[in-house]
Structure 1
Amino acid sequence: MQPKTNQDDGKLIATTYNEEKCREALARFVLLDEAPFKTVEGNGFKYMLSVFEPRFHVPCRTTIARDVLQVYVDEKKKLKDFFVRNQQRVCLTTDTWTSIQNINYMCLTAHFVDNNWKLQKKILNFCPISNHKGDTIGKALEACLKSWGIERVLTVTVDNASSNNDAILYLSKIVNSWNGAIMNGNHMHLRCSAHILNLIVTEGLKDYHESISKIRNVVRYVRGSPARLQKFKSCAEREKISSKKLLCLDVPTRWNSTYLMLESAEKFQKAFEMLEDHDTQYFRDFCLGEDKGAPTSLDWEYARCFIKFLKVFFHATLKFSGSLFVTFNTFLRHLCMVHSQLQNWCDSKDIFLKHMAENMKKKYDKYWGSYQVINPFLFIAVLLDPRHKQRLLRYCFALLWSEDKANEMTSRVINTLNELYYQYKVIYFANVEAIDNMPIANDMPADNDEIDADSLFNSSYMQLVNETDGVDNKTENPGAISYHFWTAKFGCCCRIQTLL
């Protein structure tokens, strides 16, 4: 037995060879690195393990497949025991699609905060379904939750397919019958913000796809062979283009990849123009004939406008779709930035910019144009953020709608929070004395990002903070409030915070 340092306490512990532990470790290696099962039968792999531990017999691919399945079964049991033991309330995200083999699939993911206040993301199920009807999806969700012992659900995030409305309505009735819904499941349905942004952007770009298509075609041509790429690089060097970015081809159905393609390509406009003189095949394909396919100077100007538009939505999508960090409390902030940018572009004197923004604004108003169509839990999360509280809520409401509505809508959000608070108090803290006044703390602004829209929002919000609360704000550092303080003094609020 050789001594080994325990990473937890730094003490030396005795270790010995264990065949089962080695088999399990090998199975976890295959899982974590997504290695093919045949890896274990490679001569180089076997030689490496023979040097590491000569006594270990490397299993065949069939055996390692069984070991991987056993690891999954063991981990699933641990997670299920956690859900059942803690009666954990979760937020769910689900999506359905049809594969190229014409098979319908559904994926269900649970998001929750564990007992150590760490955000967790666990895929609960990945299964085929018979069709995309609402009842079918709802019943599949019900079966999955039953198999995991999950009865308490706060929200289910889905895209804007009409069938999802029926699916969530069905599921909310089921969860209500389990006594696992909050506020009768009235706010269980949460629309995917990233998907809404996708709809807004698609609406704005649909009338200008020809310019994008031209740039896509020349990028595809240059990337088509090493010889073409080398000629293009030579043209870029002659034009003294210093950009280190490489040309990337987009997926036409994914606008975020289109943004990355345009952002890299527009820097090489002069190189593409020079390529017309140095590549006869390029000249024949794109510059001759009635249907000229080479991007014109106007197409490149359009591309730069697209980039300006898409940059705001690209970064907002990254914030909305994050799964390794909390996104609820930042939704309103990024919604305001998107709204302000659209409003500024709608007022622009540039006709092209104005027309594209107006198309986007129509789609924006459909999903985010009024308070009633947005899930109130997204606003409650701002109230529970100790850096902001009511002030940021009022400020954002005034930006989105009007000063007159800001106070009214803030009061409605607070009333919803009070209702949520007292329901949690009954469920979890029946013996705790009622807290008459919800604590409202001064706020501190979040750190600035590199995005211009974010900096603009921070600047205007901080101006409001300085005008309304110059001295008192210096005495408080909400970021220093400890977990133990919150759990000791505001236990019920902490329960809500773990969900939002």
Structure 2
Amino acid sequence: MSQEGEAPNLISSEQSSNPTDSNQTVRTARKRKGMKPRSDVWDHFTKSADEVGEPKASCKYCEREFCCDPKKNGTTSLRNHITLCKKFPGNMNTTQTQLNYQPIKGQEGDGSGTISIWKFDQEAIRNALARMIIIDELPFKSVEKEGFRHLMSVACPRFHIPSRSTVARDCYQFFLEKRSKLKKFFRHSCQRISLTTDTWSSLQKINYMCLTAHYIDSDWKLHKKILNFCPISSHKGEALGKANEKCLLDWGIDRVFIVTVDNASSNDVAVGYLRRRLINWGSSILQGKFLHVRCVAHIINLVVCDGLKEVEIAIDRFQAAVKYVRSSPARLKLFKKCVENERIKSKSLLCLDVSTRWNSTYLMLKSVEKFEKAFYRFDVEDPFFSGELDSGDVDGIRKPDHEDWEKVRKMATLL
């Protein structure tokens, strides 16, 4: 009796001596409350379990079952099924056409437009995306930006957005197709092609050349296409001629009408080289006598630059005056106040010119001419205007006088 009575006492004493084991037993006895699924894909599926106890997900529309163990399967297969489920109300038949209404450009407000049919086409959208990248000069990485992906998820959720590498390949393929069509047009449908070419050096001291074709199609419309944009070894005439010849051979062009270039001496050698090649090909007109045409815009630029040298001192003075006014917000604010006090009604402001472009010099002189009275008042209001400009009198830089204003008016009219 004593031994049988001692056994329960031993057990109870062991349980009381190990409180940690007792707490673990209580925790395992309690069932942990399951977490609510956070993925939005569960709005379209119902959770269940099979005979073995494996979790299953059943589609609410087609009742197809999928494995959905969170550690083994995840929700990727469920999400892919929703995009392809034919009974899902959000999916439409990709082969079914729909009516599409597009307003006429420039008449969006009056309700006029055209109606056409449309159906989802992954390849067509990819081609349109590549065309957008080319026309708008966007970086390839723009397709991976969050804003673009959100736009496509709202506008066309079924469109699979390609990566930037795929978009780059699409753009190159788009170029190859266009080049193939243009080559075919040059061989069979085009008569004579006129060329313009120019070269320059970058800040990295790399020489580049651009060759452009100008032609008229069967509908008498003038077209301009860049045939080549490539680095060249030097600006020497023979190197330019060989680079142009290689480009013409690549495109299969031999019927050249004229070549328009600027007045650089190296272009004379380059056009002479092309003239000999065209004569050998038997495609020249009058033995290439009128092949070389000098650029009128470049000739006008040379004439204008020589004319600007006659009033170079006056232009430098106005440049210094404009720089002084635009050098700080306080001076610009004071100048605007002078414009208001002189009752000058002009929305334009002072602008500086670029030394390599004479049309920018014209814009500067034209803007300065409007504010002649404002400059006189500014000279009175700002005591440092005359002193700072007259300090450079050694180089001929001082504030503009009456004679300078006369030269500006005449030169602006001439330009």
TM-score (norm. length: structure 1): 0.59
Partner residue, 2:154? 51
Would the aligned equivalents of 1:277 and 1:283 in 2 still touch at CA under 8 Å? no
Partners of 1:162 and 1:201 in 2: CA distance:
20
Q: Which runs of 5+ in 1 are unaligned?
A: 311-500
Q: Structure 2 vs 1, CA of residues 13 and 239 (structure 1 numbering), >3 Å: closer, same or farther? A: closer
Partners of 1:194 and 1:144 in 2: CA distance:
25
Matched residue of 1:126: which SS? strand
1:242-253 equivalences in 2 (<5 Å): 242-253=345-356
Alpha-carbon shift at residue 86 of structure 1 (Å): 2.2
Partner residue, 2:5? none
Would the aligned equivalents of 2:321 and 2:399 in 1 still touch at CA under 8 Å? yes
Q: Which of the pair is proportionally richer in strand?
A: 2
Paired letter, 1:114 = D
Partner residue, 2:98? 2
Residue 409 (structure 2) aligned to one of 289, 301, 304: 304
Matched residue of 2:225: which SS? strand
Would the aligned equivalents of 1:286 and 1:294 in 2 still touch at CA under 8 Å? yes
Alpha-carbon shift at residue 295 of structure 1 (Å): 1.6
Partner residue, 2:400? 295
Residue 332 (structure 2) aligned to one of 229, 233, 256: 229
TM-score (norm. length: structure 2): 0.70
Alpha-carbon shift at residue 142 of structure 1 (Å): 0.5
Q: Structure 2 vs 1, CA of residues 297 and 71 (structure 1 numbering), >3 Å: closer, same or farther? A: same
Partners of 1:45 and 1:277 in 2: CA distance:
55
Paired letter, 2:125 = C
Partner residue, 1:390? none
Alpha-carbon shift at residue 12 of structure 1 (Å): 6.2
Paired letter, 1:304 = R
Partners of 2:337 and 2:139 in 1: CA distance:
41
After the TM superposition, list the runs of 4 or more consecutive aligned residues in structure 1 that deviate by more than 6 angstroms.
none
Q: Structure 2 vs 1, CA of residues 275 and 13 (structure 1 numbering), >3 Å: closer, same or farther? A: closer
Q: How many residues align?
A: 309
Asked if 1:274 corresponds to 2:377, the answer is yes
**Residue range with higher mean Cα deviation, 210-219 or 61-70:** 61-70
Matched residue of 2:371: which SS? helix
Would the aligned equivalents of 2:386 and 2:398 in 1 still touch at CA under 8 Å? no
Alpha-carbon shift at residue 129 of structure 1 (Å): 0.8
Q: Structure 2 vs 1, CA of residues 11 and 244 (structure 1 numbering), >3 Å: closer, same or farther? A: closer
Asked if 1:124 corresponds to 2:220, the answer is no
Alpha-carbon shift at residue 94 of structure 1 (Å): 0.6
Q: Which of the pair is proportionally richer in helix?
A: 1
Partner residue, 1:341? none
Partner residue, 1:161? 264
Partners of 2:167 and 2:225 in 1: CA distance:
23
Q: Structure 2 vs 1, CA of residues 289 and 85 (structure 1 numbering), >3 Å: closer, same or farther? A: closer
Paired letter, 1:3 = L
Alpha-carbon shift at residue 222 of structure 1 (Å): 2.5
Residue 218 (structure 1) aligned to one of 315, 321, 334: 321
Partners of 1:221 and 1:286 in 2: CA distance:
8
1:13-412 equivalences in 2 (<5 Å): 14-288=117-391, 290-291=393-394, 292-310=397-415
Partners of 1:227 and 1:27 in 2: CA distance:
48
Which structure's relative contact order is higher, taking Cα pairs within 8 Å and 6+ residues apart? 1
Alpha-carbon shift at residue 24 of structure 1 (Å): 1.2
Alpha-carbon shift at residue 138 of structure 1 (Å): 0.6
Partners of 2:368 and 2:199 in 1: CA distance:
34
Partners of 2:292 and 2:214 in 1: CA distance:
15
Alpha-carbon shift at residue 164 of structure 1 (Å): 0.8
Alpha-carbon shift at residue 87 of structure 1 (Å): 4.8
Q: Deviations over 1:336-375 (max 9, x none)?
A: xxxxxxxxxxxxxxxxxxxxxxxxxxxxxxxxxxxxxxxx
Q: Structure 2 vs 1, CA of residues 275 and 38 (structure 1 numbering), >3 Å: closer, same or farther? A: farther
Would the aligned equivalents of 1:3 and 1:15 in 2 still touch at CA under 8 Å? yes
Would the aligned equivalents of 1:201 and 1:255 in 2 still touch at CA under 8 Å? yes
Q: Which runs of 5+ in 2 are unaligned?
A: 1-96, 104-112
Q: Deviations over 1:445-499 (max 9, x none)?
A: xxxxxxxxxxxxxxxxxxxxxxxxxxxxxxxxxxxxxxxxxxxxxxxxxxxxxxx
Higher Cα Rg, which structure: 2
Would the aligned equivalents of 1:262 and 1:303 in 2 still touch at CA under 8 Å? yes
Partners of 2:360 and 2:343 in 1: CA distance:
26
Partners of 2:385 and 2:164 in 1: CA distance:
49
Partners of 1:289 and 1:184 in 2: CA distance:
58
Matched residue of 1:40: which SS? helix
Would the aligned equivalents of 2:194 and 2:256 in 1 still touch at CA under 8 Å? yes
Matched residue of 1:208: which SS? helix
Partners of 1:130 and 1:289 in 2: CA distance:
44
Matched residue of 1:282: which SS? helix
